[in-house]
Structure 1
């Protein structure tokens, strides 16, 4: 009788559901991880932007010279450049969720230095150190979570959360700029960002020995830099994103000066104008995922010329309502341009190197461009250059530079397609 008792023991009905659940599990984990990355990015960037406004307010309270305001960003981007060869290795040597947590705590340390009355430039440099290691992990995790055909959409979510964080971060910083508890509140937001990273599923490090040989890292960084600049699509993307972030860093301070001199707004209200840019960038990032998928990313390049023209048109504006509408347009053009260029660069970088290294190379190029443009703007402030010629020249430079990149892209396409046909 015992053999007869065995067949009913394994229940047959539960067997079919197991195969159905298995294919869905990886997708569900990826979605959860992406949501955690987006939330961590939102709160981390929220604190970054609020801290910048508060730091600018501290410089104003101390009657610091005008050139020190863009110098905040100079010190920030200098950290990116100095850590460029090692930031990608940090992202590859440890699980990216842990890297995101640790770097948020480093940013919290920069906030604490401000609370302890340390020179704002030094404190913001520490925030830059955290951000330099944070960025490769933030973007490098996306190609690990998602297939290439979803990279534009994922970048859209990350960029949209970043822009929303700029919107609320500027508003938060404007509210806290004269508050004694402002730095405490910003520190709490950094802690919240670190807590969000705990929801990212644990994943193995891509290369645990990435930090073992610093000299080799330097050589590898230069080799990776050469690989990306040798790739036609990556070269165009690097040129566009570097120019974009350099322009964005400078425009942030130009808008504050423009609001004060042309619109008569104080810092707390002028900073809020950046919310208009953020709103436009959210719309642009969403539209980019629909209109410029990866295979059509280059079609977004003419928008860079329109972006420069819109900046030039700012010189004609004297009313806050018109200014807000103009900045929404500028933000929308920026979002439409940036998202497909980021996705294209990530796709090419993933095929040639570790994703963390690719993002580190991108950050180094963008930071060097930002340093150069901020240095020029700081020199113009030191020389007391008038606002309107500075703003008009800035917009004209964007028109010429983006136009040159677009022409460069058109000339490269036949040779690249011909080479691909020969290889095929």
Structure 2
């Protein structure tokens, strides 16, 4: 692996660490404010809405500016949202600003990979490292954010801002990247909608929908598990809850490392959605914390095997069609619509009094439904040959 990719991975780790640490700092703020249980879903929903509203613009933005510089802008906006939270701005607004930074950051992050790593198995391996790094950052951010927030919310927010700053400095040291678009206009937004329609009708629709199913399921599951842990195990401390939730991240890192060997193509990786769904459905049956931890790790491992080949296929198709930045922006739109739906379904169920354990089990139906969809979408021989 080249040093420039290592530099990108470190920058990504720091930015993703802060993204997830700030979530648990936000949870501590929400708990301290005596908000209802469903309010955290509203806060997270604001983050997803930022992605959805800006999706028509950020792909072209990432392709019309050097991608390393786009990473700097994204980190700066996320730091601004963190500062807003530090200044006691409502968590919904502050976290939405962080979401704006994240939606700017993401297409450039993935857009640099094909430029730095090339195509084929090299790109799959680079995606495996990127996903593994991201998940380790999610793990570290969840645990670290919970521990820091339990000690001091301002300390947690300050460390998040520092991580964004160092990530921006590392991004400045990266190659600028290709510029393949003219600029960001209303015409570019119309082009995004046209390109989006083109991509979802192409061979990319299977991995695009697969990625959306994974993130939508994960969004609902994370919120439900955060509410389920205190009810079942009597654990109310934010740092302990964050450590338990983060175990899924360990599994995803394992799965991401195994994906290039076990499931290099989406036609094979899609079957990992079966254990992904089944494991989620048995989680509420956990009789002990160790059992719950093992199930969360298994869920994450299935998710890593499932997700990495999907992302690699999407990027390759993007390079050869509408541009990788535009394709990743389309992917982000689909992912965040799915996550908003997952968060909204959980929030609505919670407001209606549905038990968190039931919500967890129901989330497992989405990956199983995806497998059924892929079977119905393509004949067996065609699905094994495609992608």
Do they fold alike, i.e. is TM over 0.5?
yes
Give the ranges of 4+ consecutive aligned residues of structure 1 lying more than 6 Å apart after TM superposition.
Answer: 415-418
Output one character per residue of 1:156-191: Cα deviation in whole Å (capped at 9) or x when no partner: 011011010011101111111130422112211111
Q: 1:309 to 1:204 in 2, by over 3 A?
A: closer
Q: 1:340 to 1:415 in 2, by over 3 A?
A: closer
Separation in 1, partners of 2:314, 2:156: 37
Question: Residues 19 and 141 of structure 2 are in contact (CA less than 8 Å); yes or no, is this contact kept in structure 1?
Answer: yes
Question: Residues 217 and 366 of structure 2 are in contact (CA less than 8 Å); yes or no, is this contact kept in structure 1?
Answer: no
> Paired residue for 1:327, among 269, 275, 296?
296
Q: 1:385 to 1:417 in 2, by over 3 A?
A: closer
Report what 1:210 is aligned to. 183
Report what 2:80 is aligned to. 109
Correspondence list, 1:315-394, <5 A: 315-394=284-363
Output one character per residue of 1:401-423: Cα deviation in whole Å (capped at 9) or x when no partner: 122233135427539969x9xxx
Of residues 110-119 and 275-284 in structure 1, the stretch that sits farther from structure 2 once superposed is 275-284
Aligned-residue RMSD, C-alpha? 1.8
Q: TM-score, normalised by structure 2?
A: 0.95
Report what 1:238 is aligned to. 208
> Paired residue for 1:56, among 1, 22, 27?
27
Q: TM-score, normalised by structure 1?
A: 0.87
Question: Residues 4 and 174 of structure 2 are in contact (CA less than 8 Å); yes or no, is this contact kept in structure 1?
Answer: yes
1:191 aligns with 2:191: no
Q: CA deviation at 1:203?
A: 3.4
Report what 1:159 is aligned to. 131
Q: 1:156 to 1:417 in 2, by over 3 A?
A: closer
Unmatched runs of 5 consecutive residues or more in structure 2:
none
Of residues 387-396 and 184-193 in structure 1, the stretch that sits farther from structure 2 once superposed is 387-396
**What is the DSSP-based 3-state SS (H/G/I as helix, E as strand, rest coil) of the residue aligned with 1:70?**
helix
Separation in 2, partners of 1:389, 1:186: 34
Q: CA deviation at 1:387?
A: 2.3
Separation in 1, partners of 2:244, 2:54: 32
Separation in 1, partners of 2:366, 2:119: 34
Separation in 2, partners of 1:140, 1:54: 30
Q: CA deviation at 1:271?
A: 1.2
1:90 aligns with 2:61: yes
1:175 aligns with 2:112: no
Separation in 1, partners of 2:56, 2:380: 29
Q: CA deviation at 1:362?
A: 0.7
Between Structure 1 and Structure 2, whose CA radius of gyration is higher? 1
Name the count of aligned residue pairs.
383
Question: Residues 84 and 363 of structure 1 are in contact (CA less than 8 Å); yes or no, is this contact kept in structure 2?
Answer: yes
**What is the DSSP-based 3-state SS (H/G/I as helix, E as strand, rest coil) of the residue aligned with 1:210?**
coil
Unmatched runs of 5 consecutive residues or more in structure 1:
1-29
Q: CA deviation at 1:204?
A: 4.3
Report what 2:226 is aligned to. 256
Question: Residues 302 and 406 of structure 1 are in contact (CA less than 8 Å); yes or no, is this contact kept in structure 2?
Answer: no
Separation in 1, partners of 2:385, 2:123: 23
1:300 aligns with 2:269: yes
Question: Residues 79 and 128 of structure 1 are in contact (CA less than 8 Å); yes or no, is this contact kept in structure 2?
Answer: yes
1:407 aligns with 2:375: yes
Question: Residues 277 and 367 of structure 2 are in contact (CA less than 8 Å); yes or no, is this contact kept in structure 1?
Answer: yes
Question: Residues 267 and 383 of structure 2 are in contact (CA less than 8 Å); yes or no, is this contact kept in structure 1?
Answer: no
**What is the DSSP-based 3-state SS (H/G/I as helix, E as strand, rest coil) of the residue aligned with 1:262?**
helix
Q: 1:402 to 1:417 in 2, by over 3 A?
A: closer
Q: CA deviation at 1:201?
A: 2.0
